[in-house]
Structures are given as C-alpha cells and as structure tokens.
Structure 1
Amino acid sequence: MSRKWTAALLCLSLTLGLALGGCAPSAAKQSRSGFYFDTVISMTVYTNDEKLLDDAQAECQRYDDLLSKTKVGSDVWNINHANGERVAVSEDTRDIIEKALEYSRLSEGRFDITIEPCVALWDFTGDAMGILPDGDALAAAAAKVDWTQVDVSDGGVRIPAGMTIDLGAIAKGYITDRIADFLKDRGVKNGFLNFGGNVLTIGGKPDGTAWNIGVQDPQGTQSQGILGVVAVEGEAVVTSGIYERGFDVDGVRYHHILDPKTGWPVQNELAGVSIVAEDAFDADALSTTVFAMGLEAGTAFIEGLDGIEAVFVTRDDAVTWTSGLEGRFTLQEQ
C-alpha cells in the first residue's frame, strides 16, 4: 500500500473516531462543599456530568438522616429508643454496625460503638467545654458499655434497655466509601473527597501522578498545620488525635478519644495517628483503635495488617511511620 493511501486511511480513521466519540472531551474539574454529619465536607472530581455532585450531596443527606443519633426517626435514634426491642434497619445501618463489631473483636474492645453513654457526659465543643463530668456518673455510664451485647440479625438490631450506640467514630469513613462508590459508578476516574478530615482519593490525578495528601500536625506546631505528605492513589488517609476536639484543665489534655473501660480520655504518649488504607472505613476505625493502643503496640498491630500503614506523632513531637510508607511519606521541613 502506498504512503498516500496509508495517510488517507489514517485520516479517515481519525475522522470516524471523532464522529463516534472515540476522542471524548477531557473531564472537567468540579468541586462542591456542604455541611453533613456535623462537619464540613468537600468533593472534587473530574466529570462532565453537571448533576453528579448535586446527586452526591443528596446521598450525603440520605446517610445523615439514616445514621445520626440526634435525628428523630433515624435508624440509630430508633435503636437507642427501642427500650430493648429489636429494630428493623436499613441494609446500610446493619452493614456499618456489623463492621464496627468486627473492629471491636479485632481491637479487644478498644473500639466500641456502645460508648455513647460516656460520650453524652462530655462536651468538647459547646458551652460546657472545659467542665469535667462527675466521676461517679462517668463510672456508671462506663458500666453500660459492652459491644458484645449488640445483637444484629436479618430482622434488625437489638441492644439491652439502657444501652445506647454512637456511630460517630466510623460513620464518616463508611459514608465516604459509599459516596466514592456512587461517584465511580457514575464514571468518575479521578478525584478526592474530604469529609471532615477523612480523605479518600479516587484513582490518581488526571495527569497520572499520585495525590499528595497532607497529614495533620496534631500539635499545630508545623507550618500550615501539615506534618508531612503521603502519596496515594485510590486510598484513604484519616487522622485521629488530641487536637480535634478537646480542652486543657490543670495541664491535662482532655480529648474526644475515650477509653471504653473508664469513659475518660485515653492518656498515653501519642498526640495523633494517621492511617493509610484502601477504605476510609478501615482508616477511620483504625485511627481511633490504634491511638488507644499507644505507640509500641499500635505500630506492631499495623505492621501485622496487610495493606494498612500508619504515621505516629508523640506528644513530644517525635514522628515515626510503618515500613510500607518508606518512600511514600515525606516529613515537612520546619
């Protein structure tokens, strides 16, 4: 075949390709923010679907209505007010509670959604912030905490009368995963979600490089509040620490990560833990669990899990990270 005919056929192929949509326009960057789950959320995706982020926000509202413990008629509100009776719940609610119980088993009770009676006695953001709860009342609340009493079946969820649950430690992670699935089902290949500090990336950047996600400085001593950055593609980065919600009394930091056995904030050498995992739910649950374990036990625990990594920051500003982050985590220069 002559070069002339080859060039003509190539030109015809390109023309047909464009006519049939073979060279589709590149996806446009779109962003949206809102307030759900008692926190600010933001979504940035690359898509030409003008309705997509509106639909995603509607999904966020649906989950908020379903899982909030304060909204009358939500699944969690109904469970907490059933006086020991079994409550029919949505598949999402059953799924998240079953996953939470798996982490309770895995962590030997350090993670426990029945800690709500203790949570209710603390105020880390409102008018009563800085006031310690009554010790006897907190001990009585802690006596009600027992994840093994949560009964989940196809018929619904039942907890003993007087016990209550709080999904706040894991709901954002679970919902972040589900919203990412929703976006990917609608064709999104690249993007990232930030749901109150729970960051989940969809793929990499459109140019093929990884996302560089900032790891929060729990002490606030680094520039712009960033301790370092970790390169991720299709992974979540979630941080828990003493900086998020808390106050100081007589030189003691009282924060929102409570010990299920006592109801008092966990006190150890850690200021913060950041988890890198494929799922935001795993990262969310593990950030709380591993913080409660402390540096040595928490590091060993994460090193024993496949596909999970962690960055640890101590109260004296020492920073360590698990072996799988070598070459992926870069410490910020002071």
Structure 2
Amino acid sequence: MISVVNKYIKRFQQTCGLAMRSFFYTPHLHKSAGTFLLMFFFIACSSEKKFVSIEGKTMGTYYRVQLYSSESKEKLKADIDKFLRLFNQVFSTYIEDSEVSKINKHKFDQIKISDSMKKLIELSQNISRKSYGYYDPTVAPLVNLWGFGPHKVKSAPEKRVIEQAIKKVGFNKLEVKDDRLYYLKGMELDFSAIAKGYGVDELVKFLEYQGYANLLVEIGGELRARGHKADQTTWKVGIEGPNESLGASIIKVVPLKNKSMATSGSYRNYLKYGDKVFSHTIDPHTGMPVEHKTISVSVVHDYCADADAWATALMSMGAEKGLDIADKNGLAVFFQVKEGDKIVYKASSYFDKYLKTSQ
C-alpha cells in the first residue's frame, strides 16, 4: 500500500506546482485503529474560498463532499477519486486483486497483511467484543450464501449449508501477530459494515491535512462533519423514515458538531426468495437474516467507522436488546421500530442528551 501511495505522491509532484508533505495518520481514541494511508498536504496559493459540493461514485454507492475551497472543483474531485481508489484497493471484496480479496482467496491459514488491514481488523475486533459478536466481518461466508456479496444467488440457502458456513464465522478464530494474520482455513472477511464509515474518516483526514477545516463528508449515507458552515451554523443531517408513498421522509434532524452519523436499515437493502423478503442484516450467531420489528437504527459517534459498525451490530440485535447495549457503551442511538401499522421511535438516553446539548 505504501509503495502505491509513494508512486501517487510522485505523480502529484510531477504535475503540481504545490508544496507537499506526507504523514502517517494515526486516528482517534482507539489504540486499535491506526495508520491507514500516507496522506498528502497541498498548500494552496489563493485565499479566496467558496462553497463546493463534489459528488461521485465509490464502494458501490455514492459519495458527497461539501466544503469551502479555493481549488477548482475538478482538481478536488480528481484528488478525492484517486484517494478512494487506493482505499478500495485494500478493503473492497468487489475488486478481485484487492488485499481483502487476496486474503479470502488464500489457500493457507496465515498471510502477511498491510498495516492498513491490521488496524481495521483490530478496530473491528474491539467493536465485535463490545457488541457480543453482533458485528463480525468474518460473516462473509453467510453474506455470500444469502446473495448479498459480489455474486447473486437464485434461492435461499438450505439449513445444513448455513450450519456449515457458521463454522467458519467468528473473530475468535483469527489472530493478528505483528504483520501476519492467522485464521481458520476457509474463513473470509467482509468489511462492508464498516468500510463506508472508515472511508469517511480517512477522507476527512485527507482533506483536513490539505487545510480544509469546515466540511461535511458522506459515503452512502454515512456522514462526518467538521467545523461549521460559512454562516457559522452547525452542519445538520436528517434521519429518514420509510414512507411507502414518498419513498422516504425526514423524521429527525440531527446537528453534527464535529460528529459522525451512520444508519443501518432493512427497508431498502433486501432480497426476495419466493414470497419471502429477507433483510441484508445477518445475525452472525444464527446465520439467518434478522426478522425482528426494528427497521432502522442511526448512531451518532465521534468517528464514522465506529458509528457504521455499531449501526450494523444494533440492527442485528434489534431495539429491545440494542437499547440496553447502547446505554452500557455510552452510544447515542435512534431506533425505528414497526409496531402494527405504526413506526415507533426509541432513543438511547445518550441520544436524547446529545440532542439537548448540541442545539
């Protein structure tokens, strides 16, 4: 990864007349998260900044970056696109020669991994422990069985096939030592439940070290805000609720003061086999798509990777168990639960407290 980024930096040095420095990013409160990519810092020549909104595609979805810049929109978009391509080359299961794809295809029980991969595995292990295994990237064999991975399937898997797949699921079956991953032969990793959030965090850092202090970054509905808007007001984002006639409607506005928010829901991403609809959220303990009445959960956190992974874990648990776990872990969480013909909203005490203190 570092060699790839070094080549990227050299290309920028050849094409840009900007001063540049590189650094290693060691993120946030987690000792388990750490160096991801070599970043680059471009010192702009002009001080005149205007609002810029940049959109593009990544990770099978969209991204949107809103900030104030003196750079051209085209230049910024090109930088962002190149950065995200490097990110996906590590963590995307949809890229055949990505690092995670190579791990999944490896025929032995150990493999050398990059520092980037090591740090995300360690962060994932930390959240998996705290969520009692409801967030677990080793769920990949089950994701693929149900047709939510890179390849689609024609029918729901049989019980015996699910039982065989579960034997290869569980973070307790792998271990990281130095630069090597030791794991049960046949295990696979799928970071789709944290990759968008982690990508947001890394992209925010990339932009901050170019000098952008006020911005809002989104990848596929996972968001992180830094600073404020030009009028000094706080960035605000909406939590959507399912609406059969309109498709979606904003049911809660959440101010993000240097915070992140991620949402996991069952009303958009699902598959239908025969007459039955199956949620994309799979319980790692049973190997089955969840069937409870919780249809959506949104998590506010300092870091988008954490919010993303926790949203998946809490969606897998459901609101009843999830609210208890959220309060034990100090999480600001907002559930939407279907009760009969109505949608009921349930929030953790930390979510209510956050809204009161961030207005």
Q: TM-score, normalised by structure 1?
A: 0.84
Using the alignment, how far apart are the partners of 2:272 and 2:102 within structure 1?
35
Using the alignment, how far apart are the partners of 1:188 and 1:58 within structure 2?
18
1:45 is displaced (CA, Å) by 1.4
Using the alignment, how far apart are the partners of 1:253 and 1:64 within structure 2?
30
Using the alignment, how far apart are the partners of 1:120 and 1:304 within structure 2?
32
What is the letter of the counterpart of residue 338 of structure 2?
R
Which entry has the higher C-alpha Rg, 1 or 2? 1
1:300 to 310, 320, 324: 324
1:131 to 140, 155, 163: 155
1:148 is displaced (CA, Å) by 0.7
Using the alignment, how far apart are the partners of 1:124 and 1:77 within structure 2?
16
Pairing 1:213–2:233 present: no
Using the alignment, how far apart are the partners of 1:78 and 1:232 within structure 2?
37
1:171 is displaced (CA, Å) by 0.9
Structure whose residues are more often strand by fraction: 2
Pairing 1:111–2:135 present: yes
Considering only aligned residues, what root-mean-square deviation do their CA atoms show, in Å? 2.5
Aligned to 1:242: 266
Pairing 1:143–2:167 present: yes
Using the alignment, how far apart are the partners of 1:322 and 1:252 within structure 2?
32
2:345 to 319, 323, 331: 319
Runs of 5+ consecutive residues of structure 1 not aligned to the other structure: 1-23
Using the alignment, how far apart are the partners of 2:186 and 2:202 within structure 1?
31
1:256 to 280, 286, 289: 280
Aligned to 2:10: none
2:222 to 186, 198, 215: 198
Using the alignment, how far apart are the partners of 1:283 and 1:273 within structure 2?
10
Pairing 1:38–2:38 present: no
1:41 is displaced (CA, Å) by 1.3
What is the letter of the counterpart of residue 258 of structure 2?
G
Using the alignment, how far apart are the partners of 2:248 and 2:282 within structure 1?
28
Using the alignment, how far apart are the partners of 2:282 and 2:134 within structure 1?
9
List structure 1 runs of 4+ shifted beyond 4 angstroms. 124-130, 218-224, 248-252, 327-330
Per-residue Cα deviation, 1:115-139 (whole angstroms, up to 9, x for no partner) = 1111111225999577322222122
1:85 is displaced (CA, Å) by 3.8
Cα distance, 1:252–1:57 mapped onto 2, change above 3 Å: same
Helix, strand or coil for the counterpart of 1:72? Answer: coil
Helix, strand or coil for the counterpart of 1:288? Answer: helix
Aligned to 2:191: 167
Helix, strand or coil for the counterpart of 1:225? Answer: strand
Helix, strand or coil for the counterpart of 1:92? Answer: helix
Cα distance, 1:311–1:55 mapped onto 2, change above 3 Å: same
Helix, strand or coil for the counterpart of 2:314? Answer: helix
Q: TM-score, normalised by structure 2?
A: 0.78
